Structure 1
């Protein structure tokens, strides 16, 4: 069974105020997806994949996706259909 937690490479920016904002991510097939907008940032657990961290509610290709920044400084997403 495939894990529902997928670690991804993320390009992000730190503002001068210290706010971390993801700009794009690379999926497992090598495709890079631009994040058009971050709607919300909050500490939350992934109910599908397990793990906890800062959950970024992102708009990618017009759809809402969750991107998590774990306390171990790694980014993950939930695999669709998991």
Structure 2
């Protein structure tokens, strides 16, 4: 499963995973406000259940992408 990763200048360590590139319409108003007006594209990755991610659970991320179209990775100790 592909995911498109974005960051924000508003909160260090906050990352947004989208199922479709630049498809910000799936976000709630609260999450859009948290990210700010210009999320910065970082990279595209391929998610797989057998490849863990450093700061978020890959299964949760994949489920959120399938169900909601996005996954929000919060900074540690948020």
TM-score normalised to structure 1 length:
0.31
Choose between structure 1 and 2: higher strand proportion.
1
TM-score normalised to structure 2 length:
0.32
Choose between structure 1 and 2: higher helix proportion.
2
